[in-house]
């Protein structure tokens, strides 16, 4: 009798897969930290005058705009110094629709959290 194998109750394998997908989902954006004042300091060394509001906007724009063509990349995907040119490349070559402000805010936000 193999009928029981088609039961609607999840088996051990399904439970493991569910748990794994939960971990993956949280690794892709769910745990992206909001900025704090230490981030503002770290980023101001590189771009004087950076504000907390700018980093917050950067995080929002990142979540909204950077996961449409590919999954959201981790802040460690490129060295922190390369975020500005990478985000610019997304717009210039890959067709990402970003304003100048969004390019600046997203680059600063990713630079900041990679500096932690």
Q: Which residues bind ligand HEC (CB under 6 A)?
A: 65-66, 68-70, 73, 77-78, 86-87, 89-90, 93-96, 98, 106
Rounded distance between C-alpha atoms, residue 81 and residue 103, angstroms: 14
Rounded distance between C-alpha atoms, residue 14 and residue 8, angstroms: 11
Nearest CB to ligand HEC, comparing residues 22 and 68 = 68
Rounded distance between C-alpha atoms, residue 73 and residue 93, angstroms: 17
Nearest CB to ligand HEC, comparing residues 50 and 62 = 62
Shortest CB 18 distance to ligand HEC, Å: 28
């Amino acid at each position: 009798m193999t009928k029981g194998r088609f039961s609607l109750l999840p088996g051990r394998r399904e439970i493991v897969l569910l748990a794994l997908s939960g971990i993956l989902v949280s690794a892709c954006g769910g745990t992206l930290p909001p900025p704090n004042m230490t981030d503002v300091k770290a980023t101001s060394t590189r771009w004087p005058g950076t504000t907390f509001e700018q980093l917050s906007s950067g995080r929002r724009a990142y979540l909204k705009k950077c996961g449409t063509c590919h999954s959201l990349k981790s802040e460690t995907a490129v060295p922190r110094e390369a975020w500005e040119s990478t985000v610019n490349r997304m717009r210039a070559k890959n067709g990402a629709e970003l304003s100048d402000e969004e390019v600046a805010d997203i680059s600063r936000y990713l630079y900041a959290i990679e500096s932690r």
